[in-house]
Every structure is written in structure tokens, then in C-alpha cells.
Structure 1
Amino acid sequence: DMKATAQVEENKPFGEDFIFDSWLSDTNKKLIQNTYGTGYYYLQDIDGDGNPDDKEESGDTNPYIGKPELEEVYDVDTTVKGKVFIHELAGTGHKAQLVDKEGTVLAEKTIAPNEKDGAPISDTVEFEFTGVDSSKLIAKDELKIQIVSPGFDKPEEGSTVIKESPKAVDKQTVVVGFKPDAKESIRNNKNLPEDAEYSWKTEPDTSNVTDSTKGIVTVKIGNRTFDVDVEFAVKASQAMENDATYVPITTTPETTVQSGKPT
């Protein structure tokens, strides 16, 4: 909001530079003669990462590389996308790395400034990691993205929290003609956003007795869509009753009892 009020553009220098006068003072805070001097003050953040360029130029981080960002990541993803602002003077040889909470590099690729007419330009560079091992992506864990630049001690870093994807219920047995509910066929639906949408992409065929019939539930969360395979066994209603077990009831002589409900 403050940037908008001040009409500050992202990744652009802003504020007014100024010249100042100064004198040295003694321990009594009195000015020392012949110590007059002038200075020029400026504060610039070319890459828009919140760190002044003069601080980054000290060798910690690259002043021409902004703070990288990741698109939302789910625990089943094998492709992870990200972006980062790179200034035209940043040069080449930068590496984007995907890092888990243990510090293990899961994926890496080389990135460079975008070009126009054969010359580098200051712009947001988009990149993606493919072939990511999704078994390493654990829901609710932090996932880091870092840009390593030659000659600088520290990488520019960003992070996100890995999201939980829809999971199918374990194989269930239903009676002939039963129509399973799409949402209830996702076992972790209570962990997903309330506005998630559930529908059958392919309904399971429960019209006949079978050991296995499969369906596909489509779950839409924001701009992401997941197709989840679910499996059912189908039995006749009488067969289901015969397979039922009952809770035992202890009785005393000459009393009337009702049998327990099947479990």
C-alpha cells in the first residue's frame, strides 16, 4: 500500500538522492574546526529484494538478482515452477536450486537474464524444474528456492509451504446399485480447502457384482485440478448381510434381548 501511495514501481530505484553537509565533533559534542565536509546520499534497490544495493555489494548477495518465488507446490508434483527478477547487468552462470527443509538440493538449473534483440534486459525470468522426485515433497514442509551467483557468499532465497493433494479412500465394498459420493471418496477431504470442488470424471460401475470397479474423482482447488483414481468392490446386498459380524450380548435367564447391530 505504501508503494502504491508513493507511486513506486516494482524493481525500480525510488526516492530522492541528496547532498548533505557534516562536521566531526569531539567527545563533548562540539564541532571540530576544519573538519567540514559534504556527502552524497542515495539508497537504491535495483533487484527489489528489500536489501539496499550498497549492502549487497559488500559481497553477501547479488544486487542484480531479486528474491525468487515459487508457484504453489503440492506433494504429488514432478514439475515445479518459479520466477525471479534479474537485472541486465547480472551476467550469466546463475543457478536456481530447489532445496528441501533438510538442505538437500532436489533440482537445479542454470538461468540468465532474458534477452531482446540479442542483448540482455532487466526482466522477470521464469523457470521450471522437471523430473522432481515427488516422494521428497512432504505436505506442510517448507520448500526453498535459491539463486546461487558466482562470486557472492550467499544465495538469494525464497520459500513456500508444500500443500496436501487429494488422496483416494482405501478400497471399499458397496452393494449393487450404490452410487458413491465423489467428495466422500477422497479420504482427506477435511484437510482440503472448504471451497474445493468434487465431481465424478468417471463414475464407478456398480450395476453388477465384481471384485473391482474403478472411477475417477476430479478435485478442483483454485486453479489446480487433480484426477484421483478410486476403487470399489461390489457385492449383492444379501452377500453383504452374510458377511456381517455381530456384537455379542451377555444375557441372564428368562430375559428378552434384542440382537446387537452388525458391524
Structure 2
Amino acid sequence: MECTRLFRTVKLSKCSMQALRTPTTCQAVRLWEVGITLTLLQHKRAPRKTSGQGRVSAVLPMSGLSTRDEDCAETAVMEAGDGGDPTSDIVLEQVTYEAGVYKAVGSFLTAASPPTVYDLLTDYPTLPRIFTSIAECREEAGKEGDSLLRQTCLWEFLGFSGQFDSLLRVSEDPAMHRVSFSLVPGQSGFLADLTGTWSVQAAPGDAGLTRTQYSLAVHLASKPPHAIGSLAKAIFASQVKAMLSDLQQAVGR
């Protein structure tokens, strides 16, 4: 896998490798060596048949590793389409890493209507059938009457695999076809904050297409070294692309 090959270039300490085999020792290992593994890194993805849809077109400027914050705040470069079906491309509009915060924005076009896509995103029990990184998803009632979503996610890293739980606070806007979510405080020792939004709108122009945009921001509880941060940024971007690809394929079924 792309992300696994990329992270093989990072030399993990003996303590880190032992912690991967023995999860109870993770607290004794630095965040950037193990913590990122359990949150941002390669989710376990089921193999799929490839088709003309779902082609990812994005280039990450990873030619070198920076040692300065401002150099780490890079932006993904979008590739122009090949002139074919505009609904076949997933575009990363922005990917940045700065001061321990990862941000990514991506989108795709589809012939499905905004209500159709929105209904898929808000049918929470069926999300595991859409997103291959989600094993289980269930709604819970919040103390203040808000909607909470508990998810069990899958991960895979350097031959190891497992799962972890997350609890998200969800806000729906049916009129704007927008779903926003944020991590409930205290649910992760590795993340200080996580926020995201799915936005489904009619695409500009008269083509009758729908633009689905996914934005995600993750703030680590501890800032990793610059080199590791840049590598993890590429892995983070691949996860955003994977979520968009999963939804795109579900919409096209």
C-alpha cells in the first residue's frame, strides 16, 4: 500500500516496535512513534475491483523533508483531469501540516442529487457498508440532547492491525446538506481535537452535477518532529482521499 511503503522510510525505535506488539506499553513510547499509528495512519482497507470511477488525481510535494514550520505548511497540487468524465476524479483541494495540526479538503463530482448523497451520509448504521475503515457505527444520545456517534475504526501498519473506538458529536443541517462532526473531549490521548465537515451542494454551472466536499482537521496532543510530521501528512491525505473514494463508489452503485 502507498502509505505503508512511505512510512517504511521511518526508523522506529526498538521500544516503539515492542509497543506495537504490546499495546499496553504504548503510553511509555513517544506520541509520534506510536500514537499517530493508532489515529491517522493506514486504515485497513478491503480489496476492491478497480474501474473507471474513483481515480485519484493529486500530487503531494514530498520531494524533501523540511525542518521549518513554514515549509511544512505545504499545499497539495491538483492535477487537471484528462478531459474525460468529470465525475471520475477525486481532487485534493488542500493538504497542510503546521504546528501539529493536519488539515485536508477534498471533493468529487457526481450525477447523484444532493439529497441522495446527504441521505447516505446521515444513515449512520449503514456507514460501515460505505466506508471500509469503519467496522461499526451507532448513535448515542448526548447529555445535552445532541447526537453522538460511536465508531469502531480499523487500522493497519507495518504488518500489524487492530481497531480503536472514537466518539463524535454530530450536527446535521438538512437544508444545506451539511454534516459536521467533532471529537468528544477526553476520548483520545493522542488527539487534542478533531473536526470535520461533509458538504453536499449543486456544482456551479448547468451540468446538473453535485459537488461533495470533505474537510478534516486534526490537532495532535503533542507536536511530532518536522520530518515525521511531513510523512504523516501524506498518510493523512491518503485517508481523506480514501473516504471520498468510498463514498463516491457508494453513490455510483
TM above 0.5, yes or no, is no
The TM-score normalised by the length of structure 1 is 0.25
Higher helix share: 2
Q: TM-score, normalised by structure 2?
A: 0.26
- Considering Cα pairs closer than 8 Å and 6+ residues apart, tell me whether 1 or 2 has the greater RCO: 2
- Higher-Rg structure is 1
